[in-house]
Every structure is written in C-alpha cells, then in structure tokens.
Structure 1
C-alpha cells in the first residue's frame, strides 16, 4: 500500500501544491466559498463514501473511496482514507492522518495532515441537517468533494447538490464519479477499525 494516498476529506496535498496551481485551476470564483455555520464533530465522525470529486493527481484512478473520522479529544480527529486502485477489484490503498481545528470556535474549517507538519484546509461548505451528506472544498476553491453516508445515494440528491454548487459559482464540468460499493455491507473492512461500520 502506498502511504501517500490522500482523498477528499483530508486534502493534505493542498499545502504542497498550492504554489503549483494557477487561477484557471479554480472551480469557483475569486471569493473563498462560504462554509456552514458549524459542524457537530461527534455527528460528523464515522464512515463516509466519496460520491464525486474534482480531478487531481493524488486520487487518480481511485474507486471505492471512503473516509473514516474518529474524534480524539476536543480538537483532534483521526482520519483513515481508503481507495481501490483501478476499480473495486483493484489493490486497496490506505492512508492514516489527522485533522485539527485551527480555531476551536469554527468547527466548519479544519486542517488535515498526512505529511508530518504539512496541513491542508478542509472546509465543510454544505452539510445535510441529518449529516447524511456533505460538500467539501477549501479557500482557493480548487478542490471539491461530495461525501455521503451511503455509497449510492439517490441520483436526484446528487443532481440537487450539483445544482447548488453551480448556483454558488462552482464549475461542475469534469467532476469524477468513482465506482462505489453496492452497499455498506458489501464494502471490505480492510484498514478500518472494528467500530468503523
């Protein structure tokens, strides 16, 4: 397994790639995207499935992408990212990192690291009231993910999220929709703690 795999909810590569991005790489306008008012990190913890993402090198050829979050104290979160290279029958690729709250009063803006002291921004820009789905981006608007508690949410829900992003000025052309498991039960437990389902 390659230890440098990163995915949606972790964005560790942002700190390393910021200088390589140009304005034309932005998915949104020049204004940083607004975040939700607050996130209950205990409710946010647990398993999420990636439904779509903007194209970027550190998730290339990844399917069956999941993120698992576990609270570890007031302002620390354990993060486990997983994907299967080249399809659901490919090799699993797992990375473990950590997230923190740079401002404990703002729970919608986290930072995530998989590379020692390097952290990348992780902004929750939309979130279902029941915590069944979330949209993630960052201040520059170059990265974008939809996460869901189920691997195959209703297509109407997905289209509604896409339209909401377009209404906010995001370019949704070229988003990647990875292959996902048929159900939570069908998903391999590889790399997850016992309480990870």
Structure 2
C-alpha cells in the first residue's frame, strides 16, 4: 500500500510470480474507498524498511484523480510521500496505477475488499507486493488469518509478512 505504487514502478515483473491470474475486485466504488487506511501487514521492501505505524489517505480530486498521501514513522521519525492515482480500466474495477515520481507509475490492484469497505488486500504486478489494509489499526485475529490464507492460496509468501502496527500472526 504505502509502496505498492512505487514498488510496481521500480520492481520488475516476471511471469513466474505475476498477479495477472488474480482478478481485481469488481463493482468497485471509488468514493467509498476514499479516506484513511492503516497498513496492517505487508511484504517487506526497501522503501518501507523500518517504517512503522504506516497509513495512507486517499482524496478524490476535481480532475478525477486520487491524491495519495502515505505516512508512517521511520526509525521513530515522521515520514511521508505524496502521489496521485488513476484508473487503468473501467472505473468500477479496483485496478489503478499510482505515481509518486513522474513519469513512473505502478499498479495498485485491489484483489479483495470487504463489502463495507473496512478492509482490503492490495497487490502490484507480482506476488512480491502485498498489503492488508483496514480502516482501523487493528483487525480481529480471525479476519487477519483469513486474509493471510487468501494471500497464501494466491501464491504470496505470507511467512515474510511484516506488521507495522505491532501485530504478528502466522499460519
């Protein structure tokens, strides 16, 4: 999430771990997705190394794009990045691309979303990138475990997941 966009732009995509076989959510409503999301779990990446208390704020702009502000603490110091997102295809499918460093865009693919828009699973172009997001900084253990099992079934290395809000559940 905090780096999904940057990760996909900077990371290569190999066919061996592509997420093309995992569909983006359908009947997606962007307005319901706007607001603050907490990063509950993520696969590790250098751009999020030592980042705790990670969150993202999405705001719909007048031009139809989404302002993205990622925040967290890196080694106890506040850090943030601002970018913009736009749809790749139909606006009712949860598949966008995000830019933090123009002209580089990375895929932001929502592969699971609760009907109440309170939690989600996001990936990029390949299974090296995964984030579990929620509207609160904690998820019930049974829900987190369910999401980890979904990711595992899709081929993600859930044993490597990090928990930036101090949560740790393993399968």
Same fold (TM > 0.5): yes
Q: Which residue of 1 aligns with 2:118?
A: 132
**Is contact 2:137–2:165 with CA below 8 Å preserved after alignment?**
no
SS of aligned partner of 1:173 = helix
Normalized per residue, which structure has more helix? 2
**Is contact 1:49–1:147 with CA below 8 Å preserved after alignment?**
yes
TM, length-normalised to structure 1: 0.76
Q: Which residue of 1 aligns with 2:169?
A: none
Task: State the shift of 1:73 in Å.
Answer: 3.4
**Is contact 1:32–1:140 with CA below 8 Å preserved after alignment?**
no
List per-residue Cα deviations over 1:5-47 (Å, max 9, x = no partner).
Answer: x814x522322232xx6677x4xx6754221113211000000
User: RMSD value over aligned CA atoms?
Assistant: 2.2
Distance 1:41 1:22 in 2: 29
Distance 2:69 2:19 in 1: 31
Q: How many residues align?
A: 167
Unaligned runs of 5+ in 1: 1-5, 181-197
Task: State the shift of 1:170 in Å.
Answer: 2.5
Distance change in 2, residues 1:172/1:45 (3 Å): same
| 1:51 corresponds to 2:40 | yes
**Is contact 1:41–1:107 with CA below 8 Å preserved after alignment?**
no
SS of aligned partner of 1:159 = helix
TM, length-normalised to structure 2: 0.87
SS of aligned partner of 1:124 = strand
List per-residue Cα deviations over 1:100-119 (Å, max 9, x = no partner).
Answer: 11224453110001101111
Alignment of 1:1-197 (within 5 A): 7-8=2-3, 10-18=4-12, 26=17, 31-73=20-62, 75-86=64-75, 90-179=76-165
SS of aligned partner of 2:152 = helix
Normalized per residue, which structure has more strand? 2
Distance 2:8 2:125 in 1: 10
Task: State the shift of 1:79 in Å.
Answer: 0.5
**Is contact 1:32–1:139 with CA below 8 Å preserved after alignment?**
no
Rg (Cα) greater in structure:
1
